[in-house]
Amino acid sequence: MNEVYDALRKANAAGDKESVAKLVAYINSQESPEEPSLMDQALSQVRPIASEALRQVGLTARAAGPVAAGATIGGMLGGPPGAAVGSLGVGLGQMVGDPLVALYNRATGSSVATPSQSMENLMTSMGLPEPKNAQERIVQDITRAAASTIGAARGAGQMGANILMGRQMAGQPAGIAPEVFNLLSKYPAQQVSGAALAAGAGGALREGDIGTGGQILGSMAAGMVAPGGPKTPLMSRTVNIPKSLVQPFTQEGREVMVGNVLRNVATDPERAIANLQAAQPTVPGVKLTTAAGARDPGLAGLESPLRSATFDPSNMFGARLSANQQALMDAYRRLGGRPGDEFTPGSIPYAEAKRESVAGPLREQAFAGVTVEPETFQRGVNLVVNRAIDNVMASPVGVRQDVEVAMKFAADRIKLAKNPQELYEVRKDLAGAAQGKYNQENPSLRLAKGQLNEVIRSVDDVIEAAAPGYKKYMDQYKKSSSAIDQMNILQGIESKVTTGQTNIVTNEPVLMASKLRTQLAAKKEEIGADLSPAAQRKLDNIINEINRGQAATAPGVRAPGSNTFQNMSMGNLIGRVFSESLADNTTLRTMTRPLDWLYKLPDQQVQRLLVEAMLDPQLAAVMMSKANMMKVEPLSTALRQKAIQLGMGTAIGANQ
């Protein structure tokens, strides 16, 4: 490098600027950078730590600033008591002022800053740092809640003492105000821990994009499980578990609440659960309600009040009733058909036309083959049919007047037949007489039904002898006629057993169980002869389902008292979280009455879930079983168990 420096001096002396520049550049490129000193290295490491520490101090000041400012101003005016009251005033001012300003903005469309927003803007203008990420925002929530709670507790205690002293000096009774402020000042450590955990949970839910309702319930639930203050790292618990803690107030919690109501109302909860689990409709299309499936007077009585617009505004009960009424009518008409003409499927004329299309050709074919002479045919009638009549009259039953009248009727009609076709028409009269067709003018004929059937069998023998294939036709006719006979009976009954009011949805008739049972009993003999055992069982099932659907109005069933539904509300439930004594405390109730709107938020969901449970026996059974496993009175026990399941037993001081 010495030679380079010599060349640089010579170039400079000669005024060769270009060479000087090149030589200087070369020298600079060859020199190594100077190592920083130990002091510089130490400062480079300390500066970020100090800067971050100062930032955290600023964030803490930002969180506690409003309370500190209130305490400072109050202290300047009234000393230590004034400082305590000042810190209380800041918290109350924000709690009351923020909602009022928000309400004003919504009503007027303006954008006036709330007290909290104004305070935030002031601290930003003062140069205090703002939280940048989720963790800093959550810590800010926790710090502010703790500071506000400490200030509020101290301020409330001082305010209560001042009021009590003033009234005592004035000779006035203490009143409720000192008691209220004294209550607010008790257990500051528990208040701080509960407020901090509640604020952290709410913040974590906010950062997790949970809605306002979820944040409110999550904050409440988190505060409830911190009776002794946290003993594990607060941040990890706050960030990781708030969604789990809020679950008892969400779908699972509502199901348990509804299950608890059902258990409290049920006369025999365990038996009702077993009945609900086994409940199945006996008529296709019918959907059982819980009142119908439980066979429990208590649960049956619950249905009537739940049908009101308060609990069932969309009238789900009415829709279920209408659907079941139609299912029952459809089932009845599958047995008895429906009114209509020969073009209406399921009607009697339609069935008769179908019968004729199948059996008619067989009859025509049989009569087309008749070759017997009229005299020969008449001798056959005398030999077979008239002898059958004589045999009946010669038997012991022949002395009965009804039998005598019936046999004379048969003999007179048979004399008119000159050929197989005419005898077949006479047979129709005899069958009609046996079935009661002429009851009004001659009831004796039906009373001798058995004897008339003996004569009819002899007529069939004579016709078959003269027209081979006739009995094959009669077998087919009888097979097709059994369904038509059933339809005749049941359609005759249907016209007498409806309520008189049609189904509001389908405009079809509605069956009435009591009338149906009466009519079936009156036609027991006909039904026994013309209806199959399977059809009779189906009729019994229809009657039973109609009766089950009327369980809510059955004898001995009464609606539960209004307390049942009051106990279901979230307001009552949350009150019990703080213990039964506090829930009944007049002072606490007076303090929390302005928050009733909050407690009522989930009630509509709970009420709808209760209606759904009363419309679904299986769902009701599941909820009642859940309530048996997870009691909700008091709910604090459930919340503590939830915390223990999450590994927080030590943190909340729980002993298993």
Please give the model's pTM, rounded to 2 decimal places. 0.51
Give tens-digit pLDDT for 146-199: 666 665 556 556 666 766 677 667 676 666 556 555 655 555 665 566 666 666
Q: What share of the chain is helix, strand, coil (3-state, %, to 5)?
A: 75, 0, 25
Cα angle 83, 88, 93; round to 5? 125
**pLDDT above 90: percentage of residues in the chain:** 26
Cis previous bond, 560, omega within 30: no
Determine phi and psi for 190, rounding to 5 degrees. -65, -35
Instruction: Assign residue 314 a region (left: φ > 0; alpha: ψ between -120 and 50; beta: otherwise).
Output: alpha
Question: Which residue type occupies 390?
Answer: D
CB 521 within 8 A of CB 487: no
Give the pLDDT of residue 247. Answer: 40
- Residue 74, pLDDT score: 63
d(CA 461, CA 470): 9
pLDDT at 565 over 80: no
pLDDT at residue 593, as a whole number: 47
> Six-digit token pair at 73?
């101003």
Q: What is the pLDDT of residues 306-364, one digit of tens each?
A: 888 878 888 999 999 999 999 999 999 998 888 888 888 888 899 989 999 999 999 99
Q: How many residues does the chain have?
A: 656
Question: Distance between CA 310 and CA 180 in Å, rounded?
Answer: 35
Which residue from 653, 655, 651, 654 is spatially nearest to 230, judged by alpha carbons? 651
Among the listed ranges 237-246, 287-296, 414-423, 447-456, which one has the minimum average pLDDT value? 237-246
The amino acid present at 278, given as its one-letter code, is: A
Q: Is 162 left (phi over 0), alpha (psi -120 to 50) or beta?
A: alpha
Residues 574-631: tens digit of each pLDDT: 444 333 434 444 544 454 444 444 344 446 777 788 889 899 999 999 888 877 654 4
Burial code (b: 16+ CB inside 10 Å, e: under 16) for 568-586 equals: bbbbbbbbbbbeeeebebe
Helix axes 401-414, 387-394, angle to 10 degrees: 170
Residue 264 pLDDT more than 50?
A: yes
Which amino acid makes up residue 437? K
> What pLDDT does residue 427 have?
94
Based on C-alpha coordinates, what's the Rg of the chain?
47
- Token pair, residue 209, equals 């994009």
DSSP alpha helix (H) spans, 208-344: 212-224, 234-240, 242-245, 251-265, 269-278, 290-294, 297-306, 316-336
